């Protein structure tokens, strides 16, 4: 980071959502290096989140994300400036995105639409229709297209468009 700072670097992005980020360490690192660390709130895919967050209803997730935005993350004063979720798990019948991940997608979208924050969606799917349906869902909720970042779109589904 010292070299990064010497060549003019000011900020880095840590897109780690709840359960895999370390807000206290981020704060300490930022203060020690004088580098801004831009953080996210949100939840990762079903298998990548702590079990206590798997069963949260959409309204509970909205409240959780808004609390972090207003009060800080993980008992710190570090506040996120964008939302992140992940779409990686399909339903048992493989016809749709897992309902837990769709609930998080909708919760993130509602908070992003309300706050004007950007929303980043990690994808890891073999089926492009699922991703396109998710994009439609987010845009229908009210997220502006210039505030939606779809990640890892170089996967196998896009080779068949």
The Cα–Cα gap between 154 and 161 comes to 12
User: What are 3-20's pLDDT values in tens digits?
Assistant: 898 999 999 999 999 989
The Cα–Cα gap between 35 and 4 comes to 9
Q: How confident is the model at residue 156 (pLDDT cuts 50, 70, 90)?
A: low
Asked if pLDDT for residue 161 goes beyond 50, the answer is no
The Cα–Cα gap between 89 and 106 comes to 15
Q: What is the pLDDT of residue 159?
A: 46
Q: What is the pLDDT of residue 136?
A: 96
Three-state DSSP at 6 gives helix
Asked if pLDDT for residue 160 goes beyond 60, the answer is no
Asked if pLDDT for residue 126 goes beyond 90, the answer is no
Tell me the average pLDDT of the chain: 91
Q: Which CATH architecture has domain 2-152?
A: Alpha-Beta Barrel (3.20)
User: What are 37-87's pLDDT values in tens digits?
Assistant: 999 999 999 988 899 998 999 999 999 999 999 999 999 999 999 999 999
CB atoms within 10 A of CB 3: 7
Q: Please tell me the total number of residues recorded for the chain in this structure.
A: 161
Helices (H), 34-141: 58-71, 99-115, 128-141
pTM score over 0.75: yes
The Cα–Cα gap between 71 and 42 comes to 15
């Amino acid at each position: 980071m010292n070299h990064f700072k010497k060549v003019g670097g000011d900020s880095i992005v840590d897109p780690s959502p709840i359960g895999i980020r370390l807000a206290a360490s981020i704060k300490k690192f930022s203060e020690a290096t004088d580098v801004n660390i831009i953080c996210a709130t949100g939840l990762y895919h079903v298998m990548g989140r702590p079990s206590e967050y798997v069963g949260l209803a959409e309204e509970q997730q909205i409240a959780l994300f808004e609390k972090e935005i207003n009060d800080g993350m993980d008992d710190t004063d570090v506040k996120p400036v964008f939302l992140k979720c992940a779409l990686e798990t399909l339903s048992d019948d493989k016809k749709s995105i897992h309902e837990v991940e769709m609930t998080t997608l909708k919760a993130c979208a509602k908070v992003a639409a309300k706050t004007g924050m950007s929303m980043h969606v990690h994808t890891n799917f073999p089926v492009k229709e699922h991703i396109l349906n998710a994009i439609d869902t987010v845009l229908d909720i009210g997220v502006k297209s210039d505030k939606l970042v779809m990640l890892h779109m170089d996967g196998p589904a896009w080779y068949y468009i």
